Amino acid sequence: MAVLKALARSRKFWLAVFGVIQSVIFALWPGFPTEVWVAIDALVIVLINAIAHEDAAEKGALAIVAKAPEAK
């Protein structure tokens, strides 16, 4: 159950869902320019990677703070 809660709160998960849904809809839409929905997919991928980079940096910073000796 905790995994489902984590997915429901994940920005990366919802962006991936959006990307899949829009890809399917636009692929099935006759006459919709392929370049447009491929470009949207590329932007979604870039955004997911940016969020992943941000999350990794945050977790790395928290690990450094957790290992730091306490100031006296």
Q: Residues 15-59: pLDDT tens digits? A: 999 999 998 998 899 998 989 988 999 999 999 999 999 988 888
CA-based nearest residue to 52, from 1, 5, 27, 15? 15
pLDDT, tens digit, 9 for 90 and up, residues 14-24: 999 999 999 89
Residues in the chain: 72
Query: 18 and 44 in contact (C-beta within 8 Å)?
Result: yes
pLDDT of residue 57: 86
Residue 65 has pLDDT above 70, yes or no: no
Q: What is the mean pLDDT of residues 7-12?
A: 88
State residue 66's pLDDT score: 64
